[in-house]
Structure 1
Amino acid sequence: MHCDIYKFPKHDDMYIYIARPGYPDDTDEIKDWLSVVPKDFRKGLGVSKFVMHLDLEATEKLARVDKEEVLAKLKSQGYFVQLPPQDVMRKQAELRAREAQDNIYD
Protein backbone atom coordinates (compact mmCIF):
# COMPACT_ATOMS: atom_id res chain seq x y z
CA MET A 1 0.00 0.00 0.00
CA HIS A 2 1.32 3.39 -1.01
CA CYS A 3 0.43 6.56 0.88
CA ASP A 4 1.19 10.26 1.00
CA ILE A 5 1.96 11.96 4.29
CA TYR A 6 1.00 15.55 5.09
CA LYS A 7 1.67 17.82 8.05
CA PHE A 8 -0.09 20.93 9.25
CA PRO A 9 1.88 23.90 10.60
CA LYS A 10 -0.88 24.72 13.11
CA HIS A 11 -0.52 21.26 14.68
CA ASP A 12 3.01 20.28 15.67
CA ASP A 13 3.88 16.62 15.24
CA MET A 14 0.52 15.66 13.74
CA TYR A 15 0.59 13.89 10.39
CA ILE A 16 -2.12 12.52 8.13
CA TYR A 17 -1.42 9.51 5.93
CA ILE A 18 -3.57 9.33 2.77
CA ALA A 19 -4.05 5.99 0.99
CA ARG A 20 -2.87 5.79 -2.61
CA PRO A 21 -3.93 2.23 -3.61
CA GLY A 22 -3.74 3.00 -7.34
CA TYR A 23 -0.26 4.51 -7.25
CA PRO A 24 1.46 5.27 -9.67
CA ASP A 25 -1.44 5.01 -12.12
CA ASP A 26 -3.55 7.50 -10.11
CA THR A 27 -1.39 10.51 -10.93
CA ASP A 28 -2.80 11.32 -14.37
CA GLU A 29 -4.90 14.17 -13.02
CA ILE A 30 -4.54 16.52 -10.07
CA LYS A 31 -6.70 15.38 -7.17
CA ASP A 32 -7.48 16.69 -3.73
CA TRP A 33 -6.06 13.69 -1.89
CA LEU A 34 -7.14 15.10 1.49
CA SER A 35 -10.81 14.99 0.45
CA VAL A 36 -11.11 11.60 2.20
CA VAL A 37 -10.71 13.39 5.57
CA PRO A 38 -14.08 14.49 7.04
CA LYS A 39 -14.81 18.15 6.21
CA ASP A 40 -15.37 19.28 9.81
CA PHE A 41 -12.04 17.81 10.92
CA ARG A 42 -10.24 19.13 7.87
CA LYS A 43 -11.44 22.72 8.47
CA GLY A 44 -9.54 22.91 11.75
CA LEU A 45 -6.28 21.64 10.28
CA GLY A 46 -5.31 24.67 8.25
CA VAL A 47 -3.06 24.53 5.22
CA SER A 48 -1.45 21.18 4.50
CA LYS A 49 2.16 20.61 3.53
CA PHE A 50 3.21 17.49 1.67
CA VAL A 51 5.94 15.62 3.58
CA MET A 52 6.61 12.41 1.65
CA HIS A 53 5.32 9.49 -0.35
CA LEU A 54 5.76 6.09 1.32
CA ASP A 55 5.44 2.49 0.18
CA LEU A 56 4.32 0.75 3.36
CA GLU A 57 4.96 -2.72 1.95
CA ALA A 58 8.63 -1.82 1.49
CA THR A 59 8.86 -0.19 4.93
CA GLU A 60 9.79 -2.51 7.77
CA LYS A 61 8.43 -0.34 10.60
CA LEU A 62 7.36 3.22 11.31
CA ALA A 63 8.95 5.48 13.91
CA ARG A 64 5.99 6.45 16.13
CA VAL A 65 3.05 4.32 15.05
CA ASP A 66 2.25 0.69 14.43
CA LYS A 67 2.50 -0.13 10.73
CA GLU A 68 -0.38 -2.65 10.90
CA GLU A 69 -2.67 -0.06 12.51
CA VAL A 70 -1.81 2.43 9.76
CA LEU A 71 -2.50 -0.15 7.04
CA ALA A 72 -5.83 -1.13 8.62
CA LYS A 73 -7.02 2.50 8.80
CA LEU A 74 -5.86 3.26 5.26
CA LYS A 75 -7.77 0.26 3.94
CA SER A 76 -10.95 0.95 5.96
CA GLN A 77 -11.26 4.76 5.76
CA GLY A 78 -8.60 5.98 3.33
CA TYR A 79 -6.58 7.96 5.88
CA PHE A 80 -4.76 7.66 9.20
CA VAL A 81 -4.11 10.45 11.71
CA GLN A 82 -0.83 10.28 13.60
CA LEU A 83 -1.20 12.38 16.74
CA PRO A 84 1.73 13.85 18.63
CA PRO A 85 3.08 12.01 21.67
CA GLN A 86 1.16 12.70 24.90
CA ASP A 87 3.86 14.97 26.37
CA VAL A 88 3.83 17.16 23.25
CA MET A 89 0.02 17.33 23.30
CA ARG A 90 0.07 18.33 26.98
CA LYS A 91 2.59 21.14 26.33
CA GLN A 92 0.53 22.42 23.39
CA ALA A 93 -2.63 22.45 25.49
CA GLU A 94 -0.87 24.33 28.29
CA LEU A 95 0.43 26.93 25.83
CA ARG A 96 -3.02 27.44 24.31
CA ALA A 97 -4.55 27.79 27.79
CA ARG A 98 -1.97 30.41 28.78
CA GLU A 99 -2.48 32.33 25.52
CA ALA A 100 -6.26 32.28 26.03
CA GLN A 101 -5.86 33.49 29.61
CA ASP A 102 -3.51 36.28 28.52
CA ASN A 103 -5.94 37.36 25.79
CA ILE A 104 -8.71 37.87 28.36
CA TYR A 105 -6.97 41.00 29.57
CA ASP A 106 -6.24 42.53 26.15
Structure 2
Amino acid sequence: MHCDIYKFPKHNDMYVYIARPCYPDDTDDIKDWLGVLPKDFRASLGVSKFVMHLDLGDTPTLARVDKEEVLAKLKSQGYFVQMPPQDVMLRQAEQRARDAQDKKYD
Protein backbone atom coordinates (compact mmCIF):
# COMPACT_ATOMS: atom_id res chain seq x y z
CA MET A 1 0.00 0.00 0.00
CA HIS A 2 1.30 3.40 -0.98
CA CYS A 3 0.37 6.62 0.80
CA ASP A 4 1.17 10.31 0.82
CA ILE A 5 1.86 12.08 4.09
CA TYR A 6 0.87 15.69 4.76
CA LYS A 7 1.38 18.07 7.66
CA PHE A 8 -0.48 21.22 8.59
CA PRO A 9 1.20 24.32 10.02
CA LYS A 10 -1.78 24.99 12.34
CA HIS A 11 -1.27 21.60 14.03
CA ASN A 12 2.31 20.84 15.10
CA ASP A 13 3.38 17.20 14.95
CA MET A 14 0.10 16.00 13.41
CA TYR A 15 0.35 14.10 10.14
CA VAL A 16 -2.33 12.81 7.78
CA TYR A 17 -1.66 9.73 5.67
CA ILE A 18 -3.70 9.49 2.46
CA ALA A 19 -4.07 6.12 0.70
CA ARG A 20 -2.72 5.85 -2.85
CA PRO A 21 -3.63 2.23 -3.73
CA CYS A 22 -3.09 2.64 -7.49
CA TYR A 23 0.25 4.44 -7.27
CA PRO A 24 2.03 5.10 -9.71
CA ASP A 25 -0.81 4.62 -12.23
CA ASP A 26 -2.80 7.42 -10.63
CA THR A 27 -0.04 10.03 -10.87
CA ASP A 28 -1.07 11.21 -14.35
CA ASP A 29 -4.35 12.66 -13.09
CA ILE A 30 -4.44 15.86 -11.08
CA LYS A 31 -6.53 14.95 -8.09
CA ASP A 32 -7.42 16.41 -4.72
CA TRP A 33 -6.04 13.56 -2.60
CA LEU A 34 -7.17 15.24 0.61
CA GLY A 35 -10.76 15.01 -0.64
CA VAL A 36 -11.19 11.75 1.29
CA LEU A 37 -11.14 13.68 4.57
CA PRO A 38 -14.46 14.69 6.15
CA LYS A 39 -15.28 18.24 5.02
CA ASP A 40 -15.40 19.82 8.51
CA PHE A 41 -12.20 18.11 9.62
CA ARG A 42 -10.38 19.20 6.48
CA ALA A 43 -11.54 22.78 6.89
CA SER A 44 -10.16 22.86 10.45
CA LEU A 45 -6.71 21.73 9.29
CA GLY A 46 -5.85 24.74 7.18
CA VAL A 47 -3.30 24.64 4.38
CA SER A 48 -1.56 21.33 3.81
CA LYS A 49 2.10 20.75 3.09
CA PHE A 50 3.21 17.56 1.35
CA VAL A 51 5.84 15.74 3.42
CA MET A 52 6.59 12.51 1.57
CA HIS A 53 5.36 9.51 -0.36
CA LEU A 54 5.71 6.17 1.42
CA ASP A 55 5.40 2.55 0.29
CA LEU A 56 4.19 0.82 3.44
CA GLY A 57 4.97 -2.57 1.91
CA ASP A 58 8.68 -1.67 1.90
CA THR A 59 8.60 -0.04 5.33
CA PRO A 60 9.11 -2.45 8.25
CA THR A 61 8.01 -0.04 11.02
CA LEU A 62 6.84 3.53 11.53
CA ALA A 63 8.28 5.90 14.13
CA ARG A 64 5.27 6.85 16.30
CA VAL A 65 2.40 4.64 15.13
CA ASP A 66 1.64 0.99 14.56
CA LYS A 67 2.01 0.11 10.88
CA GLU A 68 -0.90 -2.37 11.00
CA GLU A 69 -3.20 0.29 12.46
CA VAL A 70 -2.22 2.70 9.68
CA LEU A 71 -2.84 0.06 7.01
CA ALA A 72 -6.24 -0.85 8.47
CA LYS A 73 -7.40 2.79 8.52
CA LEU A 74 -6.09 3.45 5.00
CA LYS A 75 -7.99 0.43 3.70
CA SER A 76 -11.23 1.20 5.57
CA GLN A 77 -11.50 4.99 5.25
CA GLY A 78 -8.73 6.11 2.90
CA TYR A 79 -6.81 8.15 5.48
CA PHE A 80 -5.10 7.92 8.86
CA VAL A 81 -4.46 10.78 11.30
CA GLN A 82 -1.27 10.60 13.37
CA MET A 83 -1.78 12.75 16.42
CA PRO A 84 1.14 14.31 18.30
CA PRO A 85 2.49 12.51 21.38
CA GLN A 86 0.62 13.33 24.60
CA ASP A 87 3.46 15.46 26.03
CA VAL A 88 3.47 17.62 22.89
CA MET A 89 -0.31 18.01 23.01
CA LEU A 90 -0.11 19.04 26.67
CA ARG A 91 2.54 21.69 25.94
CA GLN A 92 0.46 23.03 23.04
CA ALA A 93 -2.67 23.23 25.21
CA GLU A 94 -0.76 25.03 27.96
CA GLN A 95 0.66 27.51 25.43
CA ARG A 96 -2.82 28.21 24.00
CA ALA A 97 -4.13 28.79 27.54
CA ARG A 98 -1.29 31.23 28.29
CA ASP A 99 -1.89 33.04 24.99
CA ALA A 100 -5.62 33.32 25.72
CA GLN A 101 -4.86 34.64 29.23
CA ASP A 102 -2.47 37.27 27.83
CA LYS A 103 -5.03 38.43 25.25
CA LYS A 104 -7.69 38.72 27.96
CA TYR A 105 -5.68 41.45 29.70
CA ASP A 106 -4.47 43.33 26.61
Q: How large is the RMSD of aligned CA atoms in angstroms? A: 0.6
Q: Which residue of 1 aligns with 2:9?
A: 9
Residue by residue over 1:5-51, the C-alpha shift from the partner in whole angstroms, topping out at 9 and shown as x without a partner, is 00011111000000000100011111110010111011111110000
Instruction: Determine whether 1:104 maps to 2:90.
Output: no
Return structure 1 stretches of 4+ with deviation > 4 angstroms. Answer: none
Q: How does 1:30-45 map to 2 (within 5 A)?
A: 30-45=30-45
Per the alignment, in what secondary structure is the counterpart of residue 12 of structure 2? strand
TM-score relative to the length of structure 2: 0.98
Residue by residue over 1:46-99, the C-alpha shift from the partner in whole angstroms, topping out at 9 and shown as x without a partner, is 110000000000000000000000000000000000000000000000001111
What is the alpha-carbon distance in structure 2 between the residues aligned to residue 100 and residue 46 of structure 1?
Answer: 20
Q: Which residue of 1 aligns with 2:82?
A: 82
What is the alpha-carbon distance in structure 2 between the residues aligned to residue 102 and residue 43 of structure 1?
Answer: 27
The alpha-carbon deviation at position 102 of structure 1 amounts to 1.1
Q: How does 1:29-68 map to 2 (within 5 A)?
A: 29-68=29-68
TM-score relative to the length of structure 1: 0.98
Unaligned runs of 5+ in 1: none
Q: How many residues align?
A: 106
